[in-house]
Amino acid sequence: MTSFVLVPGAGGSAWYWHRVVALLQAHGHAAVAVELPAGDDAADLPAYADAIVAAAGSPAGAADDGPVLVAQSMGGLSAPLACDRLAAREIVLVNAMIPRPGETGGEWWTATGQDVAKRELDRREGRDPDAAFDPAVTFFHDVPPDIAAQAMGEEALQSGTPFADPWPLPAWPAVPTRVLCGRDDRLFPADFQVRVARERLGLDATVVPGGHLLALSRPDAVVEFLLAG
């Protein structure tokens, strides 16, 4: 039995992980999803790490050894900061940002080439790369309609404060790390994610069908990957 701590991306909603939490618990594991202070302009990356540690606590039925930290998208900036405090056994990145020491979240987009990769993908797939951002197109294109409607009915606020913080660790944590990415991710194209994982962590990413919000669109695939570790 393993304990999983699930860290959301921008918007900070623990609800994002609800389908994965239910499946992990059905398999007999402990799982807790973190609610981050995403709408608080005073909350910086250390505050996000504090929220992760506080939420982790001691999940009911948790194993004695450290948890697996699972980070979605922007969660790649915050989850590693909690590794030492939680004695994490593993980090799993799901369509996640992979920062370098001293790099801000705001710098990450251009430094990694995400901006170019997304524009190229939009062109290849027939979308206007200069069109206004539409979450239905970028995020919810493969999410079941009822789940998408529920998600889009809740206003997701994300402060820019944590994106201004230089990433504070001197190196990626010395914790086993795995990378999962969605083949159909329109925000972080799969080939882009595979390249960044190799360049920044020396790791091969596993690619599965699904878009940016894999925990909503493909929770079975996410859980299968988590349990294969």
Of the pLDDT bands very low, low, confident and very high (cuts 50, 70, 90), residue 58 is: low
Q: Any idea of the CA torsion for 113, 188, 10, 65, to the nearest 10 degrees?
A: -100
pLDDT of residue 154: 66
User: Which residues are paired to 181 by β-bridges?
Assistant: 207
Hunting for tokens 């699972």 — which residue is that?
Answer: 70
Listed in order, strand segments (DSSP E) in the chain are 3-7, 30-33, 68-72, 90-94, 177-182, 206-208
- pLDDT band at 49, cuts 50/70/90? very high
Closest C-alpha among 76, 30, 72 to residue 55:
30
For 52-89, b where at least 16 C-beta lie within 10 A, e where not — what string?
Answer: beebbeebeebeeebbbbbbbbbbbbbbbbbbeebebb
Rounded CA separation 52/211 (Å): 25
How far, in Å, CA of 115 to CA of 133, rounded? Answer: 13
What confidence tens digit (pLDDT) does each residue in 208-223 have?
999 999 999 999 999 9
What's the pTM?
0.95
pLDDT at 45: 96
Query: CA angle, corner 70, sides to 211 and 205, nearest 5?
Result: 55
Asked if pLDDT for residue 182 goes beyond 90, the answer is yes
C-alpha closest to that of 224 among 37, 14, 26: 26
d(CA 115, CA 105): 13
User: What is the per-residue pLDDT for 155?
Assistant: 61
CA distance 167 to 170: 9
Residue 59 contacts by C-beta under 8 Å, 6 or more apart in sequence? 3, 5, 30, 31, 32, 67
Q: What is the pLDDT of residues 98-111, one digit of tens each?
A: 999 999 999 999 99
Q: pLDDT (tens digit, 9 = 90+) per residue, 63-116?
A: 457 999 999 999 999 999 999 999 999 999 999 999 999 999 999 999 999 999
> Would you say domain 3-227 falls under CATH 3.40.50.1820?
yes
